[in-house]
Amino acid sequence: MISRSTIDRVFESARVEEVIGEFVQLKKAGSNFKGLSPFTDEKSPSFMVSPVKQIWKDFSTGKGGNAISFLMEHEHYSYPEAIKWLAKKYNIEIEETEQTDEQKEQMNERESMFLVSNFAKDYFHDLMLNTNQGKAIGLSYFKERGFRDDIIKKFDLGYCVDEWDNFTKAALAKGYDLKYLASTGLSIVKETKQFDRFKGRVMFPIHSMSGRILGFGGRILTADKKAAKYLNSPESDIYHKSKILYGIYQAKKEIAKQDNCFLVEGYTDVISFHQSGIENVVASSGTALTSDQIRLVNRLTKNITVLFDGDAAGIRASIRGIDLILEQGMNVKVVQFPDGEDPDSFAKSHSDIELKEYLESSAQDFINFKVSLLLKDSNNDPIKKASVIRDIVTSISKIPDGIQREIYIQECARIMDISERVLFSELAQLLKKEATQKTKTSFNNKKVDPNEPPPEYFMEQEQASMALVKGGKIATYKIDQLSILEKEIIRILLLYGNEETSFNEEIVNVDEEGKEVITIRKYQNTVSAEIYLHLQDDEIEFSNAVFQEIYSEIIHQLNQSEKIETDKLLNQKNPEIANIVTSILMDQEDPNRQLSNWESKNIEVKSELEVLTKAVNDVVFNLRRVLIEELVKERLITEKEYSNEEKEEIMNYNSLRIRLFDKLNRVV
């Protein structure tokens, strides 16, 4: 685990403009830098970097943060990986916190396996490019497949010579432990003998999201019917076949940029697409698609286009993966290649432009694809057609979003020429069955919360909402006033919390005649202290969890040093906090923000600093007003007889509400 002192040194040394400058071309724009968004294709620059505040903001996507968050967004590093990248850039030695002997041993085991795997990658690649046997067999195979030198290098392709222990001997000679050669599966150890697992195969290294070598795929080059055509590394502490996608490291930037991922089956499909200029492509490596693999893509985009070859049997075997993608809340399209073609062969036999045009023109929604595929087998048989419809509705039931489900039901009804009512009824039964099953599973695992309504309750609510939509009624949505006011409090604290200004306090006394006499006391206070006192007096907590976390950190800072330090908020691991804080701090830099030029019209406009007292009072009083209104509604909505004490409480709330409106110069 990286020590706190190392993290602090990284934050002190890293310059956001230097880090981002390695990935984005930045130009000076006043005190800031400006560039084109690395996350979208835009012509007008909306990506801003502030060297003063040490933050960045992409106004085209809403993303923002510090140097760490940029690496996590752009390079898709984990937090520790981003810290290590910066430490390397700024020559900072990484210190690890004290770990147990077991943790150290586990970390050392994994690190040793990574080191061995990286050595193997370099060894196989170098052997193929720089030895006669490697060139004659390994390199010639890839050349025959039409792969260019730059593509071979990009994917670290290699070759393991057809000798029993050539690689194992070379690794041992370099000082690598046989234990880790065996645990990674690179060498097979039997009693006193050891030999190479991948002998006589061309090698496809499998990279993690951050580029580390997890394992290998090897293709045999002889016609040995007893040997598997493709052989993968065995499962290990660093390689889990079901949790990685081939090509994810090379594709991640383009997937995020294009907001779409092409999913193919084999290694060469991925490589051929890259050579054709299509880089947002990954492969499931010939295995059935898993939820873990889908989640990898979901980190980068919500859109997947599944590419199938012309083999109908192969398509039917793989179509289950579509339901898994839908379950993750992702959007699925399908492209089917002509009979006898697969992504690799099609890419080689067509120009880059033709390939791109085919992918665009042939992409169809999953429901249309599934209907056309399954109806071929029904031969107008009513029973088989009914089975097809149930199959499609089952896929639709996997979609978590209710609106999307309804749209797909309507589309299915249109294509299959069946009433929506019947399909909605079938969908409701499937959802209810699934909810009941989940309830049973939770109950068996003793995870049922007796205070929560059963899943059937939510199903009934959904069916009722469907009926309302069908009846033509329009749903209305209440504006979340609390969230708006809470965000405004956070904004004022971040921008002006350390400022000191004057405030007024009303002191109410009763004179001899029993009348209230109000006197005003003026005093100086910091904005942060004033807001804290008001919220503390009323014991107010934020309804928005992220705003509450930001507020708690601010109060912690004030207790520690009596000063708000925004950089500490930006340096937190929670990306939501960094994003909100960045948005507030960079709001004035938005290139699309249109402000009227009042000075040219001889109209004097006060700055926010000049009206800071009013801004603080307005947001605090409004927050109190909204909370009181909700309390009154809660009391009145309950059908019961009120005691005199309860009636007095409601009257007091209403009286306070009227006074707050008076303070805000509003009419009740």
654 assigned to some structural domain? no
167, 66: one domain = no
220, 313: one domain = no
Measuring CA to CA, which residue among 99, 95, 97 is closest to residue 9? 95
Compute the distance between CA of residue 93 and CA of residue 79 in angstroms, rounded to an integer.
Answer: 17
State which of 212, 239, 266 marks the end of a domain. Answer: 239
pLDDT at residue 576 in the model: 82
Task: Characterize the bridge pairing of strands 500-510 and 364-365.
Answer: unpaired
Q: Predicted confidence band at 447 (pLDDT cuts at 50, 70, 90)?
A: very low
Q: Predicted confidence band at 260 (pLDDT cuts at 50, 70, 90)?
A: very high
Measuring CA to CA, which residue among 168, 236, 161 is closest to residue 199? 161
369, 301: one domain = no
pLDDT at residue 168 in the model: 97
pLDDT over 60 (residue 155): yes
Q: How many helices (H) and strands (E) does the chain have?
A: 29, 18
pLDDT at residue 475 in the model: 41
pLDDT at residue 113 in the model: 94
pLDDT at residue 468 in the model: 43
For a pLDDT cut of 70, what percent of the chain falls above it? 81
pLDDT over 60 (residue 116): yes
Average pLDDT over residues 484-495: 90
pLDDT over 80 (residue 213): yes
337, 444: one domain = no
Percentages (nearest 5) of helix, strand, coil residues in the chain = 55, 15, 30
> 262's torsion region: left (phi>0), alpha (psi -120 to 50) or beta?
beta
**pLDDT tens digits, residue range 58-114?**
988 888 889 998 988 887 787 888 898 999 999 998 887 655 566 556 667 888 999
Compute the distance between CA of residue 46 and CA of residue 279 in angstroms, rounded to an integer.
Answer: 25
State which of 476, 495, 522 marks the end of a domain. Answer: 476
Compute the distance between CA of residue 338 and CA of residue 67 in angstroms, rounded to an integer.
Answer: 46
pLDDT at residue 465 in the model: 46
528 assigned to some structural domain? yes
Compute the distance between CA of residue 23 and CA of residue 625 in angstroms, rounded to an integer.
Answer: 48
Measuring CA to CA, which residue among 7, 4, 24 is closest to residue 16? 24
Higher pLDDT, 538 or 239: 239
Q: How far does the chain reach from its first CA to its final CA, in angstroms?
A: 58
Average pLDDT over residues 172-200: 94
Backbone angles phi, psi at 35, to 5 degrees: -160, 175
182, 46: one domain = no
Compute the distance between CA of residue 461 and CA of residue 468 in angstroms, rounded to an integer.
Answer: 11
State which of 216, 239, 262 marks the end of a domain. Answer: 239
195 CB-contact burial (10 Å; exposed 0-12 / middle 13-18 / buried 19+)? middle
We report the CATH number of the domain holding residue 84 as 3.90.580.10
pLDDT over 50 (residue 450): no
* Strand order across the beta sheet in which 261-264 lies: 281-283, 261-264, 303-308, 331-336, 364-365
Compute the distance between CA of residue 196 and CA of residue 164 in angstroms, rounded to an integer.
Answer: 6
In contact, 342 and 298? CB cutoff 8 Å: no
263, 320: one domain = yes
Longest dimension (CA), the chain: 111
175 assigned to some structural domain? yes
Measuring CA to CA, which residue among 666, 32, 400, 191 is closest to residue 182? 191
298, 392: one domain = no
Measuring CA to CA, which residue among 621, 480, 614, 478 is closest to residue 540? 621
195, 82: one domain = no
28, 67: one domain = yes
Determine the residue type at 145: R
251 assigned to some structural domain? yes
Instruction: Name 249's Cβ contacts closer than 8 Å, sequence gap at least 6.
Output: 207, 208, 209, 210, 211
pLDDT over 50 (residue 472): no
Compute the distance between CA of residue 26 and CA of residue 50 in angstroms, rounded to an integer.
Answer: 11
Q: How far lies 560's CA from each of 528, 548, 563, 566, in Å?
A: 14, 18, 8, 14
Higher pLDDT, 147 or 534: 147
Counted residue by residue, the chain has a size of 668
Question: Rounded to the nearest 10 degrees, how much is the dihedral formed by the CA atoms of 328, 334, 339, 341?
Answer: -80
423, 465: one domain = yes
CB atoms within 10 A of CB 472: 6
pLDDT at residue 44 in the model: 84
Q: How far lies 3's CA from each of 7, 77, 115, 158, 192, in Å?
A: 7, 18, 23, 38, 42
We report the CATH number of the domain holding residue 220 as 3.90.980.10
14 assigned to some structural domain? yes
pTM (2 d.p.): 0.65
For a pLDDT cut of 90, what percent of the chain falls above it? 34
- For the ranges 138-147, 252-261, 410-419, 606-615, the lowest mean pLDDT is seen at 606-615
The highest-confidence range among 59-73, 84-98, 120-134, 277-291, by mean pLDDT, is 120-134
Report how many domains make up the chain: 5
Please state, rounded to an integer, the average pLDDT across all residues of the chain.
82
pLDDT at residue 633 in the model: 67
Q: Predicted confidence band at 521 (pLDDT cuts at 50, 70, 90)?
A: confident
We report the CATH number of the domain holding residue 297 as 3.40.1360.10
pLDDT at residue 74 in the model: 82
Vertex 646: Cα angle to 644 and 651 (nearest 5): 95
- For the ranges 88-92, 210-214, 434-438, 585-589, the lowest mean pLDDT is seen at 434-438
343 assigned to some structural domain? yes
643 assigned to some structural domain? no
- For the ranges 17-31, 174-188, 534-548, 602-616, the lowest mean pLDDT is seen at 602-616
pLDDT at residue 175 in the model: 94
294, 341: one domain = yes
* Strand order across the beta sheet in which 63-65 lies: 27-29, 32-35, 47-50, 55-58, 63-65
**pLDDT tens digits, residue range 401-425?**
888 899 999 988 988 888 999 999 9
> 407's torsion region: left (phi>0), alpha (psi -120 to 50) or beta?
alpha
- For the ranges 116-125, 150-159, 215-224, 507-516, the lowest mean pLDDT is seen at 507-516
**pLDDT tens digits, residue range 228-254?**
899 999 999 999 999 899 999 999 888
- For the ranges 194-198, 272-276, 425-429, the lowest mean pLDDT is seen at 425-429
544 assigned to some structural domain? yes
pLDDT over 90 (residue 147): yes
Domain extent, residue 310, equals 241-359
Question: What 3-state DSSP class applies to 460?
Answer: helix
pLDDT over 90 (residue 215): yes
Compute the distance between CA of residue 78 and CA of residue 210 in angstroms, rounded to an integer.
Answer: 8
Average pLDDT over residues 248-274: 92
Measuring CA to CA, which residue among 424, 275, 252, 445 is closest to residue 351? 275
Higher pLDDT, 196 or 79: 196
134, 229: one domain = yes
Question: Which H or E run includes 489?
Answer: helix 481-496
pLDDT at residue 379 in the model: 67
Q: What six digits make up the tokens of 129?
A: 């490019």
Compute the distance between CA of residue 489 and CA of residue 540 in angstroms, rounded to an integer.
Answer: 12
Average pLDDT over residues 151-162: 97
pLDDT at residue 448 in the model: 45
The highest-confidence range among 332-341, 442-451, 514-523, 560-569, by mean pLDDT, is 332-341
